[in-house]
Amino acid sequence: MITFEGAAKLYPDGTVAVDDLNLTVETGQTTVFVGPSGSGKTTSLRMVNRMVEPTRGTVLIDGEDVRRRDPAALRRSIGYVIQQAGLFPHRTVRDNIATVPLLLGWGRARARARATELMELVGLEPSQARRYPHQLSGGQQQRVGVARALAADPPVLLMDEPFSAVDPVVRAGLQDELLRLQQELRKTIVFVTHDIDEAVRLGDRIAVFRPGGRLAQYDSPERLLAEPCDAFVESFVGYDRGVRRLSFFPARELSLREDVVFEDATGADRAAEALRGENEPWALVVSADRLPLGWAAAAQLDRAPAGTALGALDLAPYGHTFDVATDSLRAALDAAVLSPAGRAVGVDTDGRVVGVVSQEDLGTALWSVTT
Amino acid sequence: MEILNDLFAWFADPAQWTGSSGIPARMGEHVYYSLLGLLWSAAIAIPLGLLTGHTGVGGFLTASLANLARALPTIGVLFLIVLAAGIGLVPVLCALVALAVPPILVNTHEGVRGVEPRLRDAAFGMGMRGHQVLLRLELPVAVPLILLGARTAAVQVVATATIAAYVGVGGLGRYIVDGQARQDLTMMLAGSLLVVLLAVLTTLLFAGLRRLLVAPGLRAEAAAVR
């Protein structure tokens, strides 16, 4: 547990970097500090490992004032990941990772063995152990940065905009990897970013900082999106917070229709009749093992010559699907919006169709869960 | 063309290759003075440059002193110290050190200053102490630049060690000084050629040192800087 008690940082020229911060970071959780530049989020993070000393107030780790610890010893007990990794260019990947164990006097053999272990943990090939940082891509460098921070198995991890310098696809991969690692390791992570999407994705708790170094709101991501406490937080969180909030509601609670799903061997006339009965404009055609094939419009079925099977028709693409068991309402809504039929196809983990849901039905479901 | 024949004859004369005033002996003296001058310079300039670079204190003073030293005429330094300390090796070494310290000092200082701030931040943030940051990060990263400064210094020292002859302690400068006195152009030219040869060998030596001392991870980056 990390506690900020009235922590403030003022510079001699009168700049206030952090103004009276009171906040508790829970053990084993990821807490994200988010805010525009100049809001004091990085300064606050750096108070934890004494890279910045507060002008007023204290920072405590598990009840102990960090200023009572020797700075170097304190920092060796805290993992530190920075933007663009900050790897030592003259050391191999393995020796970069072994830095803190060597500082702690582990001995070269043990430190290197540990480094090799960590490379595997963060998804690096063992063949990269002897490479130098400049031979790696930005994403790989950042993985090394994370491995280096974890090398001495510190209970606390400070991450200062670690993924901001890589492209969006690589960033998403790194975020997934961090979530997976955190599942496994349960570290106390303080993560700084200016990207609210990253904050919502990674954080168990989010602290929004406003310019002038003041804490604006400290909440769970879900509550932050649902109830921003003022106009600043609301605008920072973004105009589409309503849609993004749907990420927190599972799709499995949707009721899916199965009566408009037909196998490709079914006759077009039978499907047309079923649609008329339900007053439905679209039929989803699936294969014998229930993999989706495409949409057939009611008008198309009516025009088809007698005895035509659904599989022989020219079908509209089914777009992308959502996984009923694991995806959120946001994914379902997205699939429905992108579908030519205005309907989303729900599948199980093997990709087999469970049922479909229309935009209208989704609207009703959203109304019921979000109010 | 005649001068080439004379030169050839000069080098072919067996008398040039033996005794205390033969080419091997003069070459040995020259290399010895150069090496001594360079080692003293490195011993002064590298620690000082590391210190000013690491602490950031005295950077301006260092640069100013180095520029001042560069403006000193080497011969002037030599005779000034001869007046103070008498004939011998000391004035030669002082003159060579005054010549060689500035490039090494400035490059060491700049090499350490040039380490990216985020690397220094990472080093301190992982719990390195000041001297560990200096020895495990700043020094190795600065090595390519330090070597570059030392190479410049070494070539200058080898060329300038000829002044040792003025104060009677030998070296390849003897051929030039004696040749001048005797109006023997061939001898002067032969002496100069030997100095040039030594300077080229020095450059090659530093190419070898670079392979030995610069971490492989830095070679690609350093090549881009050069």
Domains and CATH numbers, chain A: 2-248 (3.40.50.300), 251-370 (3.10.580.10)
Residue A45 has pLDDT above 80, yes or no: yes
A74 near B CB under 8 A: yes
Higher-pLDDT residue of A155, A318: A155
Q: Which of A243, A236, A264, A234 is nearest to A366 (CA)?
A: A243
3 state SS for A232-281: HHHHHHCCCHHHHHHHHCEHHHCCCECCCEEECCCEHHHHHHHHHHHCCC
Residue type (1 letter), A222: E
Which domains does chain B possess?
26-225 (1.10.3720.10)
Asked if A89's CB is within 8 angstroms of B218's CB, the reply is yes
Residue A325 has pLDDT above 50, yes or no: yes
Contacts of A103 in chain B (CB under 8 A): 126-128, 132
Assess contact for A59 and A47: CB atoms under 8 A: yes
Which own/partner contact pairs does A116-124 have at CB distance under 8 Å and 24+ positions apart? A118/A147, A118/A150, A118/A151, A119/A93, A119/A94, A119/A147, A121/A147, A121/A150, A121/A181, A122/A146, A122/A147, A122/A150, A122/A177, A122/A181, A123/A177, A124/A93
> In angstroms, rounded to a whole number, what is the distance separating the alpha carbons of residues B164 and B191?
13
Residue A252 has pLDDT above 70, yes or no: yes
Mean pLDDT estimate for chain A = 93
**Predicted TM-score (pTM) of this structure:** 0.81
- Convert the pLDDT of each residue in B183-226 to its tens digit: 999 999 999 999 999 999 999 999 999 999 998 888 765 444 44
Least confident of A204-208, A329-333, B144-148: A329-333
Contacts of B121 in chain A (CB under 8 A): 51, 82, 86
Q: Scanning every residue of chain A, which has its alpha carbon at the shortest distance from the alpha carbon of B218?
A: A90
Which residues are paired to A190 by β-bridges?
A: A31, A158
- Convert the pLDDT of each residue in A302-317 to its tens digit: 888 888 888 888 999 9
Residue B80 burial (10 A CB sphere; 0-12, 13-18, 19+):
middle
CA distance A166 to chain B (A): 17
- Convert the pLDDT of each residue in A76-122 to its tens digit: 999 999 998 999 999 999 999 999 999 999 999 999 999 999 999 99
Instruction: Give me the phi and psi of A159, to 5 degrees please.
Output: -125, 115
Task: State the pLDDT at residue B221.
Answer: 54
Task: State the pLDDT at residue B226.
Answer: 40
The answer to ipTM > 0.90 is no
How distant, in Å, are the alpha carbons of A133, A144, A153, B36, B176 from that of A125?
A: 14, 11, 21, 49, 63
How distant, in Å, are the alpha carbons of B10, B27, B179 from that of B185?
A: 11, 19, 6
CA distance B146 to chain A (A): 15
CA distance B158 to chain A (A): 31
Asked if B127's CB is within 8 angstroms of A84's CB, the reply is no
Tokens of A90: 């003259």
CA distance B123 to chain A (A): 9
Q: Which of B204, B203, B94 is nearest to B156 (CA)?
A: B203
How distant, in Å, are the alpha carbons of A15, A90, A141, A215, A318 from that of A159?
A: 24, 23, 14, 19, 41
3-state SS assignment for residue A308: coil
Residue B73 has pLDDT above 50, yes or no: yes
Q: Which of A148, A272, A203 is nearest to A33 (CA)?
A: A203
- Convert the pLDDT of each residue in B95-147 to its tens digit: 999 999 999 999 999 999 999 999 999 999 999 999 999 999 999 999 999 99
Contacts of A51 in chain B (CB under 8 A): 121, 124-125
A156 near B CB under 8 A: no
